[in-house]
């Protein structure tokens, strides 16, 4: 009787909720408007792809490749987990199209395709990501891949991601439209953005969402209102809809505030490993639900009750709005028409683009016919099997005798030599 009571007591215990970080910064000055635990280490998930964009655009500015350079989809890229575009190994995608697919679809295969096209390998690209993070003052960040798929050594923080978002907007203003795409069209397929702020929150104009079970639902968002530009980062929310609602509320507070604090870059770091949100985020989600979880929920009516019950926040109302309708931008597979330049793909480190042509995975070697193991027992029954086993265990000739016999068979006899001489 004691055990059921103990189990019931455990079931009544409140579920622990991890305190989740957020930050709002003023883009022109880089100063903090509002924050909570902004330097706590966290798993970034797909907001990692903002750094992938940063390194790629930096490579373009350095003249290492161009936006119309075709990138080759490798077998490694094609093997990535969803979300992905699903192109076959050997396909070519221009850097421009790959970046758009990366931002809208959050395609993990495009992240690897970009990494291998820019740096030759995922590992070399990760080195460039970490060099860029260090140069920007992202002290909690360490990257091991270009897509944010879970890895215990792949970490960041809300502050670091706000610093990165600001750097993208200020250093590459000509590419700001990458972060404000509502939908893209590939052939007859229209793919909407995962960013629930776009088209819902007034002035929202970027940037990137992210989700994994260990990370929860993350968002780096930007918005412009009355000449002010603000970046908000929220990490670890339990759903896409709550992520949108919290970000909208933080934006409201930030735009209503006229007070700025210290530069975000000067916030002191917090020690400790990132929390694993799996128990809070995915414990009640099936595998299929986890795969679909990154898609922004389509909203619906906000439930309100009369009386003293609290009314929904502005963020909750915004998150419940129907999915906006966008005019999709066109993307395509293959090089641009009449392109004749080099093609970028996997290659050894420090090898220039176009020097080594991409070769698709080698075909499987021809299957050799199976040969029977001499020590194996045949599938025989009764006396025959017993006789065969005894013959195996008591051979009439030694191994040396067998070798002599084999040589003798190969060596022609004297009679045979004589006949050959007569001929």
User: Is 308 a catalytic site residue?
Assistant: no
Q: How far apart are CA 369 and CA 371, in angstroms?
A: 6
Angle at 294 between CA 292 and CA 296, to 5 degrees: 100
Pairing outcome for strands 329-331 and 32-36: unpaired
Phi first, then psi, for residue 294 (nearest 5°) are: -70, -20
Q: How far apart are CA 45 and CA 107, in angstroms?
A: 12
For the record, the structure tokens of 339 come out as 């392109």
Instruction: Enter the DSSP assignment of 218.
Output: E
Please name the residues in contact with 276: beta carbons below 8 A apart, sequence gap of 6 or more: 43, 214
Please name the residues in contact with 91: beta carbons below 8 A apart, sequence gap of 6 or more: 72, 73, 333, 334
Catalytic residue (choose from 74, 83, 91, 106)? 106
Is 244:196 a contact under the CB 8 Å cutoff? yes
DSSP β-bridge partners for residue 32: 25
Catalytic residue (choose from 49, 84, 100, 105)? 49
Q: How far apart are CA 82 and CA 63, in angstroms?
A: 32
User: Is 106 a catalytic site residue?
Assistant: yes
Q: Distance of CA 31 to CAs 25, 161, 263, 265, 296, Å? A: 5, 14, 4, 8, 30
Q: How far apart are CA 241 and CA 243, in angstroms?
A: 5
The end-to-end CA distance of the chain, in Å, is 103
Q: How far apart are CA 142 and CA 147, in angstroms?
A: 13
- Any idea which residues carry the catalytic annotation? 46, 49, 106
């Amino acid at each position: 009787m004691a055990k059921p009571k103990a189990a019931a007591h455990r079931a009544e215990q409140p579920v622990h909720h991890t305190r989740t970080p957020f930050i709002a910064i003023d883009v022109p000055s880089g100063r903090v408007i509002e924050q909570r635990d902004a330097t706590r280490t966290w798993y970034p998930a797909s907001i990692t792809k903002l750094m992938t964009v940063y390194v790629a655009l930096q490579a373009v500015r350095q003249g290492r490749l161009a936006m119309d350079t075709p990138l080759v989809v490798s077998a490694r890229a094609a093997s990535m987990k969803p979300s992905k575009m699903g192109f076959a190994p050997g396909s070519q995608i221009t850097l421009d199209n790959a970046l758009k697919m990366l931002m809208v679809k959050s395609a993990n295969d495009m992240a690897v395709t970009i990494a291998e096209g820019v740096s030759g390998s995922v590992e070399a690209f990760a080195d460039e990501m970490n060099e860029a993070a260090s140069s920007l003052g992202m002290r909690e960040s360490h990257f091991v891949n270009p897509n944010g798929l879970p890895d215990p050594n792949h970490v960041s923080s809300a502050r670091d991601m706000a610093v990165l978002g600001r750097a993208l907007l200020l250093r590459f203003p000509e590419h700001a439209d990458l972060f404000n795409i509502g939908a893209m069209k590939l052939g007859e397929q229209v793919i909407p953005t995962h960013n629930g702020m776009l088209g819902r929150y007034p002035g929202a104009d970027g940037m990137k969402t992210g989700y994994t079970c260990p990370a929860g639902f993350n968002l780096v968002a930007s918005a412009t209102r009355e000449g002010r530009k603000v970046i908000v980062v929220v990490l670890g929310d339990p759903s896409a809809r709550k992520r949108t609602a919290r970000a909208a509320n933080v934006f409201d507070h930030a735009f209503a505030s006229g007070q700025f604090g210290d530069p975000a870059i000067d916030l002191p770091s917090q020690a400790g490993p990132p929390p694993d949100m799996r128990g809070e985020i995915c414990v009640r989600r099936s595998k299929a639900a986890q795969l679909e979880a990154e898609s922004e929920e389509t909203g619906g009516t906000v439930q309100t009750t009369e009386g003293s019950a609290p009314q929904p926040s502005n963020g909750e109302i915004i998150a419940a709005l129907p999915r906006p309708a966008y005019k999709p931008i066109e993307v395509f597979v293959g090089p641009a028409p009449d392109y004749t330049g080099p093609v970028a793909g996997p290659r050894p480190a420090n090898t220039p683009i176009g020097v080594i042509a991409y070769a698709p995975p080698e075909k499987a070697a021809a299957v050799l016919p199976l040969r029977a193991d001499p020590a194996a027992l045949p599938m025989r029954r009764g006396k025959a099997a017993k006789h065969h086993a005894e013959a195996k265990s008591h051979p009439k000739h030694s191994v040396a005798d067998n070798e002599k016999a084999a040589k003798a068979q190969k060596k022609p006899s004297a009679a045979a030599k004589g006949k050959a001489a007569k001929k």
